[in-house]
Structure 1
Amino acid sequence: MHRLLRAGLIPVLCVFAGLPAHAQWQVGAGPGLRYAAHDEYDAGGHRLVRESGWLPGIALQAAYTRGALTWRAGAEAYRGDIDYGGRTQTGVPATSTTSTRLAAVNAGVAYALAGDVSLLALVETDRWRRDIAGTATAAGLQETYRSTRLFAGAARTWRPAAGRLTADAALFLSTPEHMRVAFSGRYDPAHLDLGRARGLRLGLGLRPANAPWLELSTRYDRARTPRSGDAPLTENGQFRGTITQPEHTRQALTFAVSAMY
């Protein structure tokens, strides 16, 4: 996860370093807390799996403003254990724990219009790792998902006495999601190409008037990824059947506090 953050931020910061120094810069960092929920559904729309829980993390951001354009970059990482509730292939209920790691690196631009309104465009690389602990009736799974998301949206800023308040909304479409799954050594690791995720992002941020160096923010994300096609399941190279990743949704409610410089 940390390699992803470093690899994503280095080229972005190098681009920013080549920009004129007389423009306005802001950087920020701080802790975050995310409530994450993940659901999987069968072909009939019935829920198979529900994962949910709180994940602590950290968020970094940088912004460069010149004229009507603001270039932005950011990175975030969250990890922790969340509750898993699902069913085995035979339909037996299974309760476990999922060790979850979420990481994302993004870069984008905002174009200021009249009336404190801005248009937003953003590209984000997303990595999601799930280590589902095994139970007495099922082996554990180790899953990694990767995709790139393209966002388009708008933001509006108000300046009440309490401070500067900004709300934003964006829709996104991802590249086809790639998934790698391991079976705790029982079968060979498998790779699946999933469909394009679609979703939305809503955000709200406050810069208090009595502490303008502080930013309080909250964000809601929701994404849906369609069911994958079949992929071969092998054991020591020998065919044992096929596997499919069900349609799944991801939701997250994130709270963050950042010190801005």
Structure 2
Amino acid sequence: MPVSPPSPSSPSPSPSSSGFPPASRDRIAAELRAAGCVFAEDEADLVLAAARTPAEAAALVGRRVTGLPLELVLGWAGFAGLRIAVAPGVFIPRRRTEHLVAEALAQAPGAAVVVDLCCGSGAVGAALAAALDGPEVHAADIDPAAVRCAEGNLAAVGGRVHQGDLFAALPGSLRGRVDILAANVPYVPTGEVALLPAEARDHEPTAALDGGADGLDVLRRVAAEASQWLAPGGCLLAETSERQAPAAVDAFTRAGLTTRLAVSEELYAHVVIGVG
């Protein structure tokens, strides 16, 4: 999983559209900046758009300055042009993971069956469903809170969400049928979890961050079983870090997948792609 805190990724509405005087934006931005918010002006716009009254705006700002992630303050995260509902205790989608979505669509533009493994909020599955032509969408996570959140985000596209440990959560009928298997697995080495920004460390489940001793335990498990689930020509995609990328590519290759690494310099994102 990404290790840096997310930044606002949706267009910021004009504060005047919320009925607040322009001075409100400056005051809120100053308060947020003093609390250490890097994107204070953008966050002020989002707070003003979400609040109906000055008292509500003050309450939202109060929650933010205590260190609560902006997405949890607002109740949603911007991802691939969508508003993804988020909830306490659920991994918040990062902008860099949009690179995984783009690579999946480039690899399998006609995908009919999509699986979002380690789905968290279901953001990847929702983004793929929005871009494809009515795919069958499944998502899975070991965390009940994530499953509930993903169910809400995937309901509109008829997505089915399953609870369990990786492939054990999926219905057996999916074996050999999956065109896109997106696995945004946890990949922070255990010893580095404590070094994560407080927004991630204090507000997201450790299971969504901790990838084992070298950060690749879950990725290796997914790679080892993926070929049993992929349709002919289907693809597995997993996000990793620059440092881990060579070992991640090796894990995919050892699993019998035709493997390549796709890098986005803009998003500082590294995605390993394996084709069955």
TM-score grouping bracket, smaller chain normalisation: under 0.3
TM (norm. structure 1) is 0.26
Would you tell me which structure has more helix in proportion to its own residues? 2
Could you say which structure has the higher strand fraction? 1
Higher Cα radius of gyration:
1
